[in-house]
Structure formats: structure tokens, C-alpha cells
Amino acid sequence: MESWVGWLLFLCCHLLLFHFSSSHSLCHLHEKTALLQFKTSFSDNNYHFRCDNLVPKTRTWENGTDCCSWSGVTCHPISGHVIGLDLTCSGLLGEIIPNTSLFRLSHLQSLNLAFNYFSSQLSFPFGGFVSLTHLNLSGDFLFRGEIPSQISQLSKLESLDLSDTLLTWEESNWKKFLQNTTVLRELILDKVNMTSSSMSQLNLSTSLVSLSLRGTGVRQNLKTDIFCLPKLKHLCLSENSVEYFPNLSCSAASLTMLDLSWNMLEGTIPASFSNFTHLTSLNLSSNYLKDSISSSILTLPYLTVLDLRYNQFYGQIPSSLSNLQHLLHLDLSENRLEGPLPNKITGLSNLTFLSFNDNLLNGTIPAWCLSLPFLKELDLSDNQFTGHIPSISSQSLESLYLCYNKLHGYIPQSVFTLVNLTHLCLSSNNFSNFHNSSFFTNTPRLERLYLSSVGLTKFPKLLGKFPMLTKLDLSDNKLNGAVPEWLHKIDSLKVLNLSHNLLTTPMNQFSRNYNLRFLDISFNLLIDDMSSSICKISNLIILSLSHNKLTGVIPSCLVNLQFLFVLDLKNNTLNGTLPTTFSMNSYLTILNLNNNQLEGLLPESLSNCIKLKILDVGNNQIEDKFPHWVQTLPELTILVLRANKFYGPIANLKTKYGFSSIVIFDISSNYFNGPIPKTYIQNFKAMKNVIKYKGSEFYMNTPLTQVSASLNVMILYITEYMYESVTVTTKAISMTLHKIPRNFFTIDLSQNKFEGQIPYVIGELHALRGLNFSHNRLSGLIPKSIGYLTNLESLDLSSNMFTGRIPTELTNMNFLAVLNLSNNQLVGEIPKGKQFATFSNDSYLGNSGLCGFPLSMNCNNTEQNPPSSPSLLGEERFGFGWEPVVIGYGCGMIFGIGLRLLYYRKA
């Protein structure tokens, strides 16, 4: 009997507990309703460039279920109130309005809306979140406007992340926020505009442990003792153009992580860095530091990450690096380090990442580099290493880059037994045994294989057995004939580079690689019609077929591929008219059709390609008026129409911002007439400001990882840059720029029928480096304002009808390497001084009224007779011989080009 009573009591207790727990596990009805209303306010977008495998969390939110069980929702275990909402990477698309139901969740302690697509002013009623301790709105780059003062009402806030938004924090609201949020420990404001906010509000009593101000513009407002905040452990000040190291004299500094990368720091690393004895991570990359590797950082006992890449460090790599026994990540790449690597280093056994690439290192590769037990990534590329590759015992290696050296001999078999290897680069060396097929059988995880410029004459065998291969680069070899069958069977292949070989494969064969995103078969011997079968590779982003012998017309389906970003068909023999059906939704950014036999009109449907940056249709037979619609392309950077049959006057701009991004404007060798369009010159805004670029910023490039993001297509394993070349005429020679400097601003209107005067506003284009108005019918005086173009390197006004004197203001152009004023009606004394002392007679031929150096005619003893007008008609319009001009400038001009490019590369 007693046992039955006990069992009944036990059962009753459990029933009561179950009833109590189940009744309290259900979230409150008004909060559930608020969440469901919030869900219906937004549509789903299945992509965000910061998120992998995005799955909207709100898909689990259903009316008949307990909201405390919903994905991303956290409830208090006793009260049942919603206290946490995490909707990161949920693909939410729409606008958050001030009265949105979200703000009825008054018990929230944590709110994370990062990495969605919320388009909104940040005018939220933050005062309702009295319990909020953690707020994250980062990565929602459509958030815009000023950060409201109401955010300072969150007095319990411990963590705030507003990074990567379009927000601005004004001084008054910033000051109020710091006064009220006294328990704040983490503050991440990367890319928030804080140019007007002073760091003086950060007093030494702050509770901040982590502070990140990347790219906020606080350079002028940095508090000099920001390093001395007593509890600060993590500090990021990168991308702020900081020119000087802040005060480093704090003896009580507790920093463990310091990031000063991508600034403008110069000189040496201060010796006071040795005060930061708690540092575990130091990033000084992408600055202008010029020194041997400082001993002040080689004595920091707890460093695990040291990043000094992209500076100007010189000298040898010291063996004292082995003092950093806790180091996991070491990057000294892209400096000027030289000499051999230390032969014996024993203290780096914990390294997982090691990069010395792009230096001047020589000698042999020491064995220790390839025997570190935990090493995952090793990059020794772009140096001058010689000798053989040592045997590899680092079985943990996942990435091995030995390309662009002077290595030779046999590749050790151990390279091909690295079962974890995903990336292998052996390009541009002198290895002997690439044709041994057994080398390509024991690396099942290989994703990227770079074998360019290694002298291959036959395709390596058995590559088709690599189930994970996504990128294959066999460019710059001597491969001939057809592509082997096994290559077409690699379904995982996304990137295929076969450029600069001797291939004759029919175009329709490549359509079998239907998963390709990047296909480069340029500089081969393809003799085939442009078949529409190429469109079967429907997800192509990059297609380069230039420098072949392709014939026929461009198939219309090609320009309408959904994700096509780059189409390069230059230097073929394509004919017919261009497709007329460029899509409204086109992502086309680079279109290069130079040097073909295309004819007809330039289709106005190209104006649908609003992302177009480079449009090059030069050296064809296109016959049309000036395409006025190109002014509607907001991102157009390079326009080349040269050597076609364009004709007629150029009307003034009809759009306010037309051509504001133009860097190269080349409409030479056509039949344009009328005045030079003044409004175009006024709108060339990119040419008006002189900007110094550094490092990888110096060249125009197209990062493919950004391309994939903008296309809503995940293209993993593509991190290199796709550079587009363009051919220009400057300094009296035609040259192809395979990498286009961002500051290479040129205007070429030569060999047309323009008439009238040069607009005076030409002097506003201060960044201009090349100006060619030659072989036209221009008249009047040479404007003095050209002398304001102090960056100009080449000025050609020859074969026109200019009169009067050469303005003395032209002597202000200190970089001028080429000057051609020949065949005009200029008179008077040639200006003296500076660059004018370097020009020869050829610069002034055909101006009988000129005198003075370098001409033999003395100004004091000559009578200036009116010169005869040069003929501008018929064959003579294009018949002016450049040979004496080029010979006159000689080696000095070529040296000037090299010196100038070197100056900008290192600036």
C-alpha cells in the first residue's frame, strides 16, 4: 500500500513539474505576434557576400509552435520573455521602420541583425530596449544616415557593433554616448564615418576592452594616449591614413592585439614597442615602414601573429626570429628583404602560416621551412631561390607556393604525397620531371594547381582523377594541338587558364566544361567560327578569347549570359555587326573588341550595361555618330573608339555626372568635327584630383571575389585579380598597358577634324598625364592653362593651326618628357628652363616664326615671317611621319616612362 502511495506522489510531482515547465516554456503571445509581424515585413534573399550557406532563420517561425523553439530566438528560462534575437545571415531584405513590431520586445538583452539587407535610416526607438547589453547591426551596408542620440539611452550596453554600414557618428551624439554607456567593453565601428568625432572623449576611466575603428577617418582626431586606456586589450586603427605612431610610452599598457595596417606610417618601428610585453598579435602591414626588422618586436615574448607585409623592410631576415617561440602566423611578404634565409631556426616549431613571398631572397630553400610539424601554408614565391626543393616532411601542409623563382632539378616525390594539400603553385621555375604521371596521383584534396611557364609541351596525365580540382593554370607553356579528353570530364573545374600556348582546339569542345566560371584561351592558334555553343557554359563570368584567329560574328547569346562580367575578344578577325540585345540586367563590366573587323553601328543597348567600366572597340570599321548614350554609364572608366569611322560633331553633355569616372578617353583617328566639347572636359572629374596610390591600389583591377559577390554567385577558390589591358598612344609611341595604372589619365582626340580653340578649362585636369590634340584643325592661341597640368608627361599639339607664342607657363610641367608643337603657325622665342631645355628641334619643326634654343635661328637677328599653313586634307592628314620625332626623343623618353612608373609604384 505504502509503495502505491509513493508511486502516486512521485507521479503527481512529475505531472506538476511538467505542467509548470511546459506552461513557462511558451513565449508570451504579444511577443510571438511581434516576431511574426516582423517576419512578414521582409522578403527573403538567399545570398549575402559575408555568409556561407545562408539559410533564413525566420523560416522556422510558424504560428502554431512555441516561439522559444524558433531558430535565433532565446527566451528567459523562468519568465518566458524573449531576451535574445540572433538573425545573422538570414537574408532579410527590406526597410526597418521606426514603429516596427521588433521594438515591442522590451525584455531583449541581445539583438543581432548582422549581414542582412536592411535599408533604413537608423531612427530606431532604442529607448524601449532598457535591458539591452549586446547590439550588432554590422554588415547591413544599407543602413545609412546619422547615428541617433537615442542610442546613448542604452546605458547597460556592453557590446556595440555597427561596422560596415553607411552610418555617420557626429561629435555631439558620440560624446553623449560615451558619457552614458559606462560599462561598455566592446566597440566595433569599422567603416562608420567618424571624421568629425573626437577621440578625446575616451577618458582613462573607460571600461573598453576591445576598440575597432578601421576606416573611420579618425586620423586627425586620434587621442595621443589611446594606447594607454587601462583595460584596453584589442585595438584596431587600420585604414585611417595615420602618419605617425601615437604615444607608446605607457608602462602599464595591457594591449594583446594591435592593428595599424593600411595606414601611412613611415620610418622605423619605435623602440618603445618593446613596452607592449603582452602583445600576442601585431599587424603593421601595408605602410611605408623602411628599416631592417626591428629588434623591438623580436623581443615580444608572447607574439603569436606578426604581420609586416607590404612595407619597405630591407636587409636579411634575422635568425633571432626564433626567439618568438609562440609564433603561429608570420608574414614578411612584399618587402625588400634580401640574402639567404637563416640556415637553422629552431624556435618556430608552432608555425601554421609562413610567407616570405615577393622579396629579393636568394640561395637555397633551407630544410627547416619544409619540416615544421604544424605548418599549413608556406609561400616562398616571387623571390630568387635557386637549387632543388628539399624533401618535405611537413605533412600538415595545405598550401605550398614555390612559383616564380629559379628552382630547378627534379621535384621531390614528397610533394605529391601531401594528402592534405589543396593549393600547389610551381609556376615559372625550371623543373625537369613534369611528365612523370605518377606525380599526380596522391593528392586527392587538390583544389588549385598552377603549372604556368614550366616548359610543358604535353598535357600532364591523370589530372582528371582529382575530384576537387577547381582551378587549373597551364598558361605560358608550349602545349599544342587539342585539349585532352580527361580535362573535359573534371566537373569540379571552375577556372581554366590555357592562355599563351599553341592550341588549335575547336571552340565547341570547351562548351563541355559547363561548370566553368573563368575561361582564358587567349594567345593561342584557335582558327574557328565564334560558335554559339560557348553559351552552353551559362554561368561564365570571365571569358577571354583574345589574340587568336577566330572568325564570324559575335553570337547574341554571348552578350546575354546572365553572369558575364568580362568579355575579351580583341585581336581576332571577327566581322559583322555587334549584337543589339545587351540585357537590362547585364553585369558586363569589361568589353574589349579591339582590332577586329566589326562594322555597322555601336548598339545603343550597350547603355543597359550600367556596370560597364571599360569599353574598347578601337581598330574596327564601326561607322556611327558619337555614341551620346555612353554618358549615362555611371562607372565608365575607359572609353576607346580609336581608328574607326565615327563621324560628325560631338554634342554637349545631357547628364550632370556623365564621364565623371573617365581615366582614358581615346576617340582618335576618326572623322569627328566641330569644336572640342567643353562640357566633357568639365565633367572629367576623376582627372582633376591627383591621388597617390600604394601597393596593389596602384593598378586598376577587378577582384573576382567581389565580382562573385555582386553577381549573387558563390565562386570559391578564386582570389586572384583579372587585369584588363588597353592600348594607348602616349609620348609618340603606341603601347599596351597590361596593367593599367590608376593615375594613367590620358585624352587623345588626334587625327580628326576638330576645329576652334582648346577650351581653357583643360587646365583643371591636374592629374592628366597624356594629352594629344594633334592632326586636327584647331586654331587660336595655346591656352596658358595647359601649364597648370604639372603631372603631364606627353603633350602633342602638332599639325594644327595654332598661332601666337608658346606660353611660358608650359615650363611649369616638370614631368613633361615629350613635347610636339610642330607644323603650326607659332611665333616668338621658345620658352627657356626646366624640361624645355631637354627638347630637340623636332618638337618645333614647321613653325617658321619660332626662334631660340634649340633652333639655330637667333631671336635677335631674325625676321619672323608668317608661316604657311600646313595641309590638313587628304593623305597628309594622316601622313605626318613620327619617325624623326621618336628618334629625337630617344632613350631619354623611354627612361622617363620607366622612372615615372617606378615612382608611382613606390609612392
pLDDT in tens, 788-813: 999 999 999 999 999 999 999 999 99
Tell me, letter by letter, the H, E, C secondary structure of 604-617.
Answer: HHHHHCCCCCEEEC
CA distance 284 to 265: 9
pLDDT (0 to 100) of residue 200: 74
Q: How far is it, in rounded angstroms, from Cα 149 to Cα 592?
A: 51
Distance CA 612, CA 267 (A): 41
Q: Profile the chain (907 residues) by mean pLDDT over runs of 10 residues.
A: 49 42 66 91 75 83 91 92 93 84 91 87 77 91 83 92 91 89 94 86 82 88 74 92 77 82 92 87 95 87 95 93 93 96 88 97 95 96 95 94 94 86 94 65 85 87 74 93 86 94 90 92 91 90 95 93 93 95 90 96 95 95 95 93 97 79 95 94 90 52 39 33 50 53 83 96 94 97 95 96 95 93 96 89 94 88 43 34 34 38 39
Q: Residue 272, class by beta-carbon neighbours within 10 Å (0-12 exposed, 13-18 middle, 19+ buried)? A: middle
pLDDT at site 617 = 97
Give the integer Cα–Cα distance in Å for 122 and 126: 10
Q: Domains in the chain: how many in total?
A: 1
pLDDT at 45: 74
pLDDT at 99: 82
Does residue 869 form part of some domain?
no
Does the residue 274 lie in any domain? no
> How many CB atoms lie under 10 A from the CB of residue 199?
20
Report the C-alpha gap between 49 and 706 in whole angstroms. 8
The cell numbers describing 675, all together, are: 569644336
pLDDT of residue 725: 54
Residue 100's nearest CA partner among 161, 42, 162 is: 42
Q: Rounded to whole angstroms, what are the CA distances from 353 to 271, 309, 399, 402, 485?
A: 26, 13, 9, 14, 37
HSE of 512 in the Cβ direction (CA atoms, 13 Å)? Answer: 13
Cell digits for 176? 553623449
Short-list 563, 558, 561, 626, CA closest to 593: 558
**pLDDT at residue 726, as a whole number:** 56
Would 629 be classed as within a structural domain?
no
φ, ψ (nearest 5 deg) of residue 231:
-105, 0
Which pLDDT score is estimated for 689? Answer: 86
List all residues 6 or more positions away from 600 whose beta carbon is below 8 Å from its beta carbon.
576, 577, 578, 622, 623, 624
CA gap 285, 265 in Å, rounded? 10
Q: Is residue 473 part of a domain?
A: no
Q: Are 660 and 686 in contact (CB under 8 A)?
A: yes
Inter-residue contact 372 to 395 (CB < 8 Å): no
Report pLDDT for 741: 60
How far is 842 from 835, CA to CA, in rounded Å? Answer: 15
Task: Tell me the whole-structure pTM to 2 decimals.
Answer: 0.80
907, with CB counted inside 10 A (0-12, 13-18, 19+), is exposed
CA distance 640 to 648: 17
> How far is it, in rounded angstroms, from Cα 360 to Cα 385?
9
Give the per-residue pLDDT at 490: 87
Beta strand segments in 34-170, E: 43-44, 73-75, 82-86, 92-94, 110-112, 117-118, 120-121, 134-136, 143-146, 159-161, 166-168
Could you report the per-residue pLDDT of 283-309, keeping only the tens digit for each? 999 999 998 988 888 889 899 999 999
Nearest C-alpha neighbor of 556 from the set 583, 592, 574: 583
Residues spanned by the domain of 823? 642-691+717-851
Residue 64 CA to residue 72 CA, distance in Å, equals: 17
What does DSSP say about strands 266-267 and 288-289: parallel, antiparallel, or unpaired?
parallel
Mean pLDDT of the chain, nearest integer: 84
Q: What is the pLDDT of residues 660-699, one digit of tens each?
A: 999 999 999 999 999 999 999 999 999 998 766 554 444 4
Pairing of strands 702-703, 518-520: unpaired
Query: Which residue has 612608373 as its cell numbers?
Result: 901
Length of the chain measured in residues: 907
- 730 domain residue, yes or no: yes
Contacts of 169 (CB under 8 A, 6+ apart): 146, 147, 189, 192, 193, 194, 197
End-to-end CA distance of the chain: 95
Domain assignment present for 214: no
Residue 233 in contact with residue 256, Cβ under 8 Å? Answer: yes
Q: Is there a contact between 45 and 117 (Cβ–Cβ < 8 Å)?
A: yes
Q: Is 391 helix (H, G, I), strand (E, B) or coil?
A: coil
Please state whether the peptide bond connecting residue 854 to the residue before it is cis, i.e. omega within 30 degrees of 0. yes
CATH number of the domain to which 777 belongs: 3.80.10.10
Q: Rounded distance, CA 740 to CA 428, Å?
A: 23
Type of residue at 321: L
558 is a domain residue: no
Say if strands 495-497 and 518-520 run parallel, antiparallel, or are unpaired.
Answer: parallel
| pLDDT computed for residue 742 by the predictor | 60
- Tens of pLDDT, residue by residue over 530-587, are 888 899 999 999 999 999 999 999 999 999 898 999 999 999 999 999 999 998 888 9
HSE of 891, CA atoms in CB hemisphere, 13 A: 0
Distance CA 142, CA 42 (A): 14
CA pair distance 233, 227, nearest whole angstrom: 9
Q: 419: left (phi > 0), else alpha (psi -120 to 50), else beta?
A: alpha
Write down the H helix ranges in 158-228.
171-180
- Neighbour tally for 801: CB within 10 Å: 17
CB 111 within 8 A of CB 135: yes
pLDDT, tens digit (0-9, with 9 covering 90-100), for 622-670: 999 999 999 999 999 999 999 999 999 998 877 777 889 999 999 999 9
- CA 511 – CA 528 distance, rounded (Å): 14
Q: How many CB atoms lie within 10 A of CB 646?
A: 22
Residue 752 domain-assigned (yes or no): yes
